[in-house]
Chains A and B, each alone.
Chain A
Amino acid sequence: MDQVATGEDFRASSAREGAATHASDDRSVMNCQIQSLYYGQFLAVRDTRIPIASKEITAFIGPSGCGKSTVLRCLNRMNDFVPGFRLEGEVRYRGQDIYAADVDPVAVRRTIGMVFQQPNPFAMSIYKNVAFGLKLNGFKGDYAERIEQALRSAALWDEVKDKLHHSGLSLSGGQQQRLCIARAVAVKPDLLLMDEPCSALDPIATRRIEELMLELKRDYTIAIVTHNLQQAQRVADRTAFLFVDTSKGGRTGYLVEYRKTDEMFSDPAEQRTKEYIRGEFS
C-alpha cells in the first residue's frame, strides 16, 4: 500500500542504502548544491549552495530576478513543469539526490509541502481542502481529528469550525492562505516551502502568518522566499542572500552570502550584502 513517508523513514532508508552523506550539517534536511540551472539556453541560477537546517526557518532574500523562487522550487522538483528546465548539480534530501535519474518527483513532493504566493484553495469545502492530502495518501486514521489539528496549527480553527463544509473560496485572502497552510501541514511534511506567502495579503494578515510561522517552527522545518527584509529579520533563523549577475549580458542569480540572520543583518560579510541591506532600509 502506497503511503506517505516521513522524515524518520528517509533517514532510516538512506542509512540502509548507505548513501554517502555530503560534508553537510547532520541536522540539515536538505542540501541544495546548484552549479547551473537553465531554462532552455538561459542560465537562470549559478553557484548556489544552501543547506536547509532542521526545525529552523531559512529565508531566501534578494532583488527580483535573483532566482530565489527558482531555487526554492528546486527543492520539491516543481521546476520540472517549466519547459526547458535543466539542473547541473544536485539537491540532496536527507542524503539522497532528488535529481538522480531514477527518482520519482511525485515521491519527493509527498513529504515536502508548499505554500504558494497566491492563495490557491481548491474549489471544495474547507474540510475537503484540508483532507485532500490525507485522502491522496490513503490516511487511515481519524480524519476529523487530523483536520482539526491542522486547522489549529494554521490558527484558523476558531474562525471556521462552524462552517467546515462551506467552500474554501468563501474565505478572505488571509484566511485562504492559512487554509493552504493547514492543507500543507495536515500531512505532517518533513519540510515546508513557502514562496512569498504574504505578498498577496494585507499587513494584518501578514503579521498573523508570520506569528504562525514562528509557532510552526517548533514542529516543522521551513524555507521561505521573501522580498521583505524586515520579515526575514523577524522570522528567519538563517538567511541566504542572492543577487543578480549581469556581467555577461544575461541575468543570472547566484548566492552571495548565507548566514545566521542576526549576524547577516548586523554585520554582513560581503560588500554586496551591505549595499543591499542599506539600500533597502534607507
Chain B
Amino acid sequence: MQAVEDRTGAGSAARRNSLKASASAFSPPSPFQRGFDVAFRGLSLALAGSVIALLLGIVYQVMAHAAPAIRDLGTHFLVETKWNPNKQVFGVLPEIVGTLYTSCLALLGGGLLGVTTALVTSQGFLSRRWELVLKNVIELLAAIPSVVYGLWGIFVLIPILRPVAKVLHEQFAFIPLFETPFAGPAILPAALVLAVMILPTITAISREALAAVPKRLPAAAYGLGATRWEVIFRVVIPTASGGLFGALVLGLGRALGETMALAMLVGNANVYGWSLLSPGSTIAALLANHFPEAGPVEIRALMYAALVLLMMTLIVNLLGAAIMARATRGLKGLV
C-alpha cells in the first residue's frame, strides 16, 4: 500500500516520520497515541485561546491598575495640562494633542513618500530587478530600531534643522506653525523621524493594494492613448483607493504606537500648540520618561494614560483592518 507519490525532497523525510508515527502502517493508533493526540490538541487549543487571553489580559491589567486613578481623576484627566506628582495633579491633554499632532504630521510626510515610493516601484518605471532592490532597501528602513533613529535624530537631524528653523521663526513667526523659537527637541524633528519610520509600512501595504488592480484595466487606459501618469491617476489609484486608504490608516496606527524615537526627540515639555518648532509630549514618551521613577500614586495615573493610548491605537488599528477588508471585498467585482 504505497502512499501518494510525492516529488519534493521534503516529503520523504516527513513520510518516514509518519511511518514511525503510526507504529505499523496497517494498524489503528495505539491508546498511547490516541492519548497523545487528545493531549496535544488540547494544548494547542489552549494556547490558541491564550492569544485571545493575552490581548484581553493586557487590556484588563491596564484597566485594573488605572481604575483607582480613573476614580480619583475622572475625565478631568483628559483636559488637565499639568503633570505634578507631588501635588497629585495629573493631566494628559498635552500628551494627547502631541500624540495626534506628531502622528498626523508623520502620516502626511510618510504617506506621501510611501505611496509615491510604492508607485515608483510597481508601475513599470524600473526593471523588475531594480524594483526588488528598492523594495529591499525600503525594508531596511523598517529593520532599524527606534532608539537608533532617536540617536540619529538628536545628532544629525536637529543640528540640520536648527538654521532652517531659525529662519522660519524669524521670518514667519506670524504663522502659528513657526511662532515659537526652536529649542532642539521639538514636534518637527519628531514628526520627520516618525514619517521615516512608518514609510516602510505604508509602502508595503500600498504596493499590495496597487498590485491587486487587475492588469487589464491599465491596459485599456493605455490603449486609449493615456500617458503613464494619466493611467496612474485616473485608473490605478482610483481602483486601488480602498487599499491605499487602509495603508494610510495602518500607518497612522503604527505612528501612534511609536515610543522611543519620540521620547528622545519630542522634548517632553508639557505644552501643546500648533508650533512645529516647540517641544511637546506624547503619551508613549510620558510613560517612557516617568514610569521608572514613579511612586504608586503616579503609577496609577500613568496606567490611566496607558489606557488612553491603548484605546486610541486599538480604535485606529481596528478601523484600518475594517477598511482593508472592505477594500478587498470591493475588488471582488474585478477579480
Contact = CB atoms under 8 A, between A and B. Distances in A.
Contact of A120 (B217, B225, B234, B238): B217
Contacts of B333: 123, 167, 169
B224 A124 contact: no
Nearest to A134: B224
Contacts of B219: 78, 81, 116, 120
A199 interface: no
B124 A81 contact: yes
Interface stretch (A26-34, A106-114, A236-244, A257-265): A106-114
A22 B223 CA distance: 26
B334 A132 contact: no
A10 to B, nearest CB: 14
A82 B227 CA distance: 17
A116 B225 contact: no
A118 B215 CA distance: 11
Q: Which of B220, B239, B333 has the most CB of A within 10 A?
A: B220
A112 B225 CA distance: 8
A109 B238 contact: no
Contacts of B224: 109-110, 113, 132-133, 136, 183-184, 187
A122 interface: yes
Contacts of B238: 123-124
B226 A136 contact: yes
Interface string B203-227: 0000000000010110111111111
Contacts of A110: 224-225
Interface of A is mostly: mixed
A126 interface: no
B234 A136 contact: yes
Contact of B239 (A83, A123, A133): A123
Nearest to B240: A123
Interface in A148-171: 167, 169
Contact of A169 (B222, B235, B334): B334
A167 B333 CA distance: 10
Contacts of A120: 214, 216-217, 219-220
B230 interface: yes
Closest 7 CB pairs of A and B: A110-B225, A114-B223, A120-B216, A109-B225, A133-B224, A120-B220, A169-B333
